[in-house]
């Protein structure tokens, strides 16, 4: 495969190439790293690089999951990766290095992904844009003069730039959906605890905050949730069981649907006419 074609594939597409022997996980890791080195100086999407570790993992035996060999990034907000720093975008906790993987990271690894770094986030993920005194601003891959959204702005910027096809993200009040909208990606806030982080994280943000991915295709989002979204032992908030795999769900017609929307603002002030026109 020509590496010029790398960004034309979604995660499942790259994994299929690995399965057929057309490419190796190491070649995919090198392709992702090459793109990161080409674009990240402008975007500031990746704030921790684990390139040597990724290459070593790609050379080794990977789990036979749906994303075997696919490069993957973790958002630098609360999520533990063994041996990696965890800053949550704040100088107050910038010296933390984790001694274990979170449960969700373990599941990402079991899905076959090759982790090669962490992505930018605002301090403690609070804002809908991604900039902090510690990590600096993250830029939009379509136009670096624009924001990438937040708080998963680094993840969305990296995926939108074609550095990788999907990346870990989290959402409390729009932190997956806002950057997905800004960067032209698929982003869905899932049911509470559908993706668990582990017994030490049962009540994060009183259950408002959830973890999943931003991706370029719906099927990648569905397949990753199939791989990671199963009950955690002893969870006090286990989500309702799903009726069928999400990969099967996305093939079913939803029937006729109606979409409601509003241009009203919380304070009642009219929005700019140009924005109103674009919304309509």
Domains, the chain, in order of start with CATH, read: 3-254 (3.90.1300.10)
pTM, entire model: 0.94
pLDDT band at 109 (very low <50, low <70, confident <90, very high): very high
pLDDT at residue 199 greater than cutoff 80: no
| pLDDT score of 240 | 86
pLDDT band at 231 (very low <50, low <70, confident <90, very high): confident
| pLDDT score of 235 | 78
- Active-site positions read 75, 151, 175
| Token pair of 1 as six digits | 């495969």
Which range has highest mean pLDDT (117-126, 232-241, 260-269)?
117-126
When pLDDT is averaged across residues 238-249 and rounded to a whole number, the result is: 92
User: Would you say the C-alpha torsion 104, 106, 110, 112 has a positive or negative sign?
Assistant: positive
pLDDT band at 234 (very low <50, low <70, confident <90, very high): confident
pLDDT digits (tens, 9 = 90+) for 50-86: 999 999 999 999 999 999 999 999 999 999 999 999 9
Helices (H), strands (E): how many in the chain?
9, 6
When pLDDT is averaged across residues 86-103 and rounded to a whole number, the result is: 95
pLDDT digits (tens, 9 = 90+) for 129-171: 999 999 999 999 999 999 999 999 999 999 999 999 999 999 9
Can you list the positions of beta strands (E) in 137-231?
166-171, 186-187, 210-215
CA distance 177 to 193: 18
* CA atoms lying within 13 Å on the CB side of residue 92: 4
Helices (H), the chain: 11-20, 25-43, 51-59, 103-110, 153-160, 177-183, 218-228, 246-249, 273-279
Tell me the pLDDT of the chain averaged across its residues: 94
| pLDDT score of 228 | 97
Percent of the chain's residues with pLDDT above 90: 88
| pLDDT score of 201 | 74
| pLDDT score of 2 | 53
| pLDDT score of 202 | 67
- φ, ψ for residue 235, nearest 5 deg: -65, 130
When pLDDT is averaged across residues 34-40 and rounded to a whole number, the result is: 97
| pLDDT score of 278 | 92
| pLDDT score of 1 | 46
């Amino acid at each position: 495969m020509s590496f010029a074609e790398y960004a034309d594939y979604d995660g499942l597409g790259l994994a299929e190439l690995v399965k057929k022997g057309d490419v190796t996980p190491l070649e995919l890791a090198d392709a992702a790293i090459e793109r990161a080195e080409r674009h990240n100086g402008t975007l500031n999407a990746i704030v921790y690089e684990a390139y040597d570790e990724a290459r070593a993992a790609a050379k080794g035996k990977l789990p036979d999951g749906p994303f075997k060999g696919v490069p993957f990034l973790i958002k630098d907000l609360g999520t533990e990766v063994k041996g990696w720093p965890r800053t949550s975008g704040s100088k107050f906790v910038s010296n933390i290095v984790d001694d274990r993987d979170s449960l969700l990271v373990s599941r990402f690894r079991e899905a076959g992904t090759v982790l090669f770094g962490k992505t930018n986030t605002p301090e403690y993920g609070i804002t809908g844009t991604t900039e902090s005194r510690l990590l600096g601003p993250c830029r939009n891959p379509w136009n670096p003069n624009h924001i990438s959204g937040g708080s998963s702005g680094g993840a969305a910027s990296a995926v939108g730039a074609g550095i990788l096809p999907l990346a870990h993200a989290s959402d409390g009040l729009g932190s997956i959906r806002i950057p997905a909208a800004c960067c032209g990606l698929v982003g869905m806030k899932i049911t509470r605890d559908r993706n668990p982080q582990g017994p030490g994280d049962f009540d994060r943000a009183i259950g408002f905050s959830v973890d999943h991915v931003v991706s370029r295709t719906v099927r990648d989002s569905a397949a990753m949730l199939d791989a990671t979204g199963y009950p955690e032992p002893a969870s006090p908030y286990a989500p309702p069981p799903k009726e069928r795999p999400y990969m099967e769900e996305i093939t079913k017609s939803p029937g006729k649907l109606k979409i409601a929307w509003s241009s009203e603002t919380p304070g009642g002030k009219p929005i700019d006419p140009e924005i109103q026109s674009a919304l309509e």
